[in-house]
Homo-oligomer: A and B are copies of this chain.
């Protein structure tokens, strides 16, 4: 399969989706896109520690701390210190956060429903399978490049990163 076409398609889909999602969630409730990510991650995974949340979203811990803090002040999240490790804080959805999460999920699902309406019924199964494959592939690839910093172009599996001739 040709990398160029595949890459362009993947980029285009990601860009278009992000763009529409932004308007889609901006429209409903005052939720910004980062808040959206945090809510959906917590909604899916339940209680998380701050560092873990940041890692899952691929965000800096400082930024995550501030974002969580502002959402906690807005009453959407609960921060409670952990008993077993007093460095960490358990972050979970408050009832208001749960409500916002449900609301958000509905808006996003309606959005993807509208997009899906443009795809013929017979092809929807194809898209479903493909998205699942892509999701797995992206996660696998992300996991295989854990912290490339010190490894000079070779990751765990010996797949070379080919990342940067010194431009």
Contact = CB atoms under 8 A, between A and B. Distances in A.
Interface of A: 1, 3-21, 24, 27-29, 37, 40, 44, 58, 103, 105, 107-119, 123-142, 159, 162-164, 167
Nearest to A104: B167
Contacts of A132: 9
A116 B6 contact: yes
Given A7-B109, A111-B7, A126 B117 contact: no
Nearest to A9: B131
B58 A19 contact: yes
**Chain A contact surface mostly:** helix
Interface-centre pick from A29, A37, A129, A134 (highest chain B CB count, 10 A): A134
Given A140-B118, A141-B115, A14 B11 contact: no
A90 to B, nearest CB: 23
A5 B141 contact: no
A127 B128 contact: no
Contacts of A14: 13-14, 17-18, 21
